[in-house]
Amino acid sequence: MEDEALAGETTDPDGERVVLLDAVWAEKIARDHPEIGAHLSVVLRAVSTPDHVAPDPIFADRTRYYARGAGPSQWLLVIVSYEQTPARIVSAFANRKDPKSWSA
């Protein structure tokens, strides 16, 4: 991780450092979800000041952060892996549907 370039970094609501590797941003998120490509700052903000937080249903050491009305859709979903230090953003994408655990 020391020599890997960062696209950005932030802290989660608990103050833990969260990084977004340049390779993950360019080769996964922006490539697979081009609608997110112009929204790097929004991805980082979704982690630091989310509108909703939920555990990942598959991986115990991952958390889903949601920003409402951010980016190109109703919701921006950012998945953070706490399986290593610092924590890493591993995916982000736009979502039109409310999170299953959301209640307005």
pLDDT tens by residue, 31-58 = 998 888 889 999 999 999 999 999 999 9
Q: What is the mean pLDDT of the chain?
A: 90
Question: Containing domain of residue 26, as a range?
Answer: 6-95
Task: Please give the tally of structural domains in the chain.
Answer: 1
Token code pair at residue 101: 């655990």
Task: Determine which helix (DSSP H) or strand (DSSP E) holds 81, and give its type and residue range.
Answer: strand 75-81
According to the model, what pLDDT value does residue 19 have? 98
Q: Note the residue count of the chain.
A: 104
Q: Is 103 contained in some domain?
A: no
Long-range contacts formed by 60-65: CB under 8 A, 24+ apart: 62/90, 63/12, 64/99, 65/12
Q: Is 47 contained in some domain?
A: yes
Q: Is 19 contained in some domain?
A: yes
Q: Is 104 contained in some domain?
A: no
d(CA 91, CA 49): 17
More confident: 94 or 100: 94
- State the average pLDDT over residues 74-83: 94
pLDDT tens by residue, 57-73 = 999 999 999 999 877 77
